[in-house]
Amino acid sequence: MLSYFVFFFIVFLFTLLGSYFFGKNNIRSILTPLVIMTLFAGLRGNVGTDTFAYKSFFNSFGTDKLNISTFEPVFVFYAYLIHLIWANDQFFIFIISITTGTLIYYNLKLIEEKTLFLLFYLTTYYIMFNLNLMRFGIGVLLISYPFLLNIRGEKPKIGLYFLGFLTHFATLFTLLIIIQKKHIVKATLFFTLFFLFLGNLLLEKFKSYLFLGLISIGKFHLDFGLLLEIVMLSLLFWINRKDIKRGFVFLFLIYILLRNLTFIFEMLQRFAYLTGFLIYANFFSKKLNLYSRLLIIVFIFFNLYRSLMFINNSDNAINDLIAEYPGFSSLYSQTRWLPFKFFW
């Protein structure tokens, strides 16, 4: 818990210093905090079961245990190239972090409110994107770049949409929303070829990953944190109502629906994160008025509190398990923060 608290404080401090010396929306103002974020993610030990699973997959190259259907084709190829350079699983995590940091940088170049966006990304998406769901974060950032180009009226790089989809299949959800009519022929051709060659892989993943996950049906319960988030996002829409296109209102309604359904079907959380990310990216792509900035600052501190509480509750849950089941301590190294393991 303390490691994360200090980390957040340092990133906030260097972001403020960068804004003071270079201006709040200068790309140079976010370079130092972005490097800190990248190093923190890349030099950590195992954090959660996802990180452990990624390392196990990476170490399976060249063995009989390799199962390439575990992940999407582009990510498998990406991991294979890293394995050729150095077959070290910590190096693999480090390169993933550098890739993510680089993609954040290029997205930030298209963002108008760079300082606020970095802090919002840090407190809202960083833990999920960079520390756990690693290929999902890469896939989303690959899609958001041409998405932001399109908002600016520039020619989007359509190939990145498909690259993002082949990095994590969950991004297919937004491809169906944001691909314009003029790209429909390319999209149809791509998906036709995809299903001819890799359709079985997609169906297999759907059955094993999504369908089985949906069998475990939970119960809806009122979450005051989520309710407050929806209220703040609704206010953001209302303040900027003159500049918002109808498509984003539709996206907003889908986001609210998905965020609430996540309590019942946990596997829908990726679609919710993805939809929300594109909504917020749209807001930050333009200069915000004073009221919007103040609301975003409140939102940042609210999400910082939620992130720290999430980390604290996770630490407490692990400690309780160790106290109740002594044998669990042998698994602790898979879930705890182990600083600088790369160097030791």
- Give the orientation angle of helix 114-124 with respect to helix 269-284, to 10 degrees: 170
List the domain boundaries for the chain. 2-334
Is residue 309 within 8 A of residue 157, CB to CB? The reply is no
Is residue 63 within 8 A of residue 101, CB to CB? The reply is no
Provide the sign of the torsion angle of the four alpha carbons 2, 130, 100, 9, taken in this order.
Answer: negative
At 32 the pLDDT is: 94
Q: Give the highest mean pLDDT range of 133-137, 263-267, 324-328.
A: 133-137
Closest CA to 164 of 145, 184, 192, 186: 145
Confidence band, pLDDT 50/70/90 cuts, at residue 343: very low
Task: Check whether 11 has a pLDDT greater than 60.
Answer: yes
Confidence band, pLDDT 50/70/90 cuts, at residue 344: very low
The tens digit of pLDDT for each residue in 158-167 reads 788 888 988 8
The tens digit of pLDDT for each residue in 308-327 reads 887 777 666 666 665 666 55
Mean pLDDT over each residue of the chain, to the nearest integer: 81
Provide the sign of the torsion angle of the four alpha carbons 95, 48, 271, 104, taken in this order.
Answer: negative
Is the pTM value of this prediction over 0.95? no
Residue bearing the bigger pLDDT, 235 or 63: 235
Least confident of 9-23, 154-168, 184-198, 308-322: 308-322
What average pLDDT score do residues 270-286 get?
A: 90
